[in-house]
Amino acid sequence: MQVEEIFARAKLVPVVVIDDAANAARLADAMVAGELPVAEVTFRTAAAPDAIRAMSQNSEMVVGAGTVLSVAQAEQALEAGAEFIVSPGLADDVVEYCQGRGVRVFPGATSATEMTAAISRGLSVVKFFPAEANGGAAAIKAYSGPFGQLRFMPTGGISERNLHEYLSLSQVLAVGGSWMVPQRAIAEGDFTTIEGLCRDAVSLANSLRKD
């Protein structure tokens, strides 16, 4: 199954910010138990490569790297076991590197120029970030007219309160968010809470969109 199919089935892509890789394995276990075995581990912390490596040891998890800004970071992520790469913007060198490696890459695109560039590079899915600050679901709906061949992964400012606005759009492949994997709960080792939040998020997403 391709990464895009996994995203579409999950409807959600948890965005994980982790400060200590020692918590990563138990985080993966909690997410699997919460029926949300997908994670975008952001390169905002030095622990990211080791966290990806640890989470990837769980055979039920699909783990990728987020906030990837350079080829060097993409190399680190893939070496650690990342199965996909997400960037906040459209970086040509990162896209080219990932495509050369046969790895799915989802760069950020929030303008017509960036979306046109993404299509010219053979991409069919882009991140829309930060979603709420760039017009939210209404903007995605508007862009979907001229860019009907693109699907979007909106991230940024999305929670259980406005999730319905995004999952109601067929152009949205999946929604990125961190409310089900709060950084503080990870740091405190509160994996029971994370398991419950993941399960609740999955239940909500499934109730909002039946694919």
In a domain, 94, yes or no: yes
- Asked whether residue 113 carries a pLDDT value surpassing 80, the answer given is yes
Instruction: Determine the average pLDDT of the residues in 12-29.
Output: 98
- Asked whether residue 210 carries a pLDDT value surpassing 80, the answer given is no
pLDDT tens per residue across span 47-99? 999 999 999 999 999 999 999 999 999 999 999 999 999 999 999 999 999 99
Cα 54 from Cα 42, distance rounded (Å): 14
CATH code at 179? 3.20.20.70
Number of domain units in the chain = 1
In the residue annotation, 127 being an active-site residue is answered as yes
In the residue annotation, 79 being an active-site residue is answered as no
- Find the domain containing 165 and state its range: 3-203
In a domain, 18, yes or no: yes
Q: Of 11, 40, 83, 195, which is the active-site residue?
A: 40
In a domain, 172, yes or no: yes
pLDDT score of 211: 64
pLDDT score of 1: 74
Instruction: Report the phi/psi class of residue 151: left, alpha or beta, with left for phi > 0 and alpha for psi in -120 to 50.
Output: beta
In a domain, 211, yes or no: no
pLDDT tens per residue across span 114-148? 999 999 999 999 999 999 999 999 999 999 999 99
Question: Cβ–Cβ contacts within 10 Å for residue 109, how many?
Answer: 26
In a domain, 140, yes or no: yes
pLDDT tens per residue across span 176-202? 999 999 999 999 999 999 999 999 999
In a domain, 209, yes or no: no
In a domain, 61, yes or no: yes
- Asked whether residue 15 carries a pLDDT value surpassing 80, the answer given is yes
Q: Of 11, 83, 127, 141, which is the active-site residue?
A: 127
Residues whose CB falls within 8 Å of the CB of residue 163, separated by 6 or more in sequence, listed in order: 175, 177, 204, 205, 208
- Asked whether residue 34 carries a pLDDT value surpassing 80, the answer given is yes
pLDDT score of 16: 98
Confidence of residue 173 (pLDDT cuts 50, 70, 90): very high
In a domain, 210, yes or no: no
Question: How does the average pLDDT of the chain come out, rounded?
Answer: 97
